[in-house]
């Protein structure tokens, strides 16, 4: 009963949703790697502190340089992840907008249909193609 154009839009929204879900799993791994990097950088900072306290490093400029390198590495990792998360957020927001727009279009075209009937027809269409 629902026009194929709307059903295909719903299918595309579903595909994008599945891709985003898959990407979220990838980003979870990336965040885990950053946590490991944080731990590693924390240990490096602690080692640097111990070397300074035990006078193994006496050159303050060298110590500053080492600390700055550790912090820059951490910031780089964090920025990379932040970019990926921002892109993911944009995709999720676009997906939400597409879903709302499609729902509005269907409601305008088929005002007599109940929400459950719309949902059932779209789900049946998607399942038939899987």
Domain presence at residue 18: yes
Domain of 125?
4-23+46-55+67-129
Cα separation, 71 vs 96, in Å, equals: 37
Domain presence at residue 100: yes
pLDDT score recorded for residue 77: 80
pLDDT score recorded for residue 12: 97
Q: How many domains does the chain have?
A: 1
Q: What is the pLDDT along the chain (130 residues), one digit of tens a residue?
A: 899 999 999 999 999 999 999 999 888 888 888 888 888 888 998 999 899 999 998 888 998 999 999 889 888 888 888 888 899 999 999 999 999 999 999 999 999 999 999 999 999 999 999 7
Q: How far is CA 52 from CA 43, 44, 80, 109, 120, in A?
A: 14, 12, 31, 73, 68
Q: Which residue, 112, 113, 122, is CA-closest to 8?
A: 122
Domain presence at residue 73: yes
pLDDT score recorded for residue 74: 83
pLDDT score recorded for residue 95: 97
pLDDT score recorded for residue 5: 96
Token pair, residue 72, equals 């820059």
Domain presence at residue 62: no
pLDDT score recorded for residue 35: 85
Cα angle 47, 53, 54 (rounded to 5 degrees) comes to 90
């Amino acid at each position: 009963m629902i026009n194929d154009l709307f059903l295909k839009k719903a299918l595309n929204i579903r595909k994008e949703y599945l891709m985003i879900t898959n990407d979220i799993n990838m980003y979870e791994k990336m965040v885990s790697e950053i946590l490991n990097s944080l731990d590693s950088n924390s240990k490096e900072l602690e080692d640097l502190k111990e070397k300074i306290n035990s006078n193994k490093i006496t050159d303050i400029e060298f110590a500053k340089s080492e600390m700055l390198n550790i912090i820059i590495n951490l910031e780089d990792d964090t920025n990379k992840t932040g970019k990926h998360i921002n892109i993911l957020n944009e995709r999720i927001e676009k997906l939400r907008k597409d879903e709302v727009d499609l729902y509005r279009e269907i409601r305008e075209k088929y005002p007599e249909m109940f929400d459950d009937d719309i949902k059932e027809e779209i789900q049946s269409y998607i399942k038939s193609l899987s």
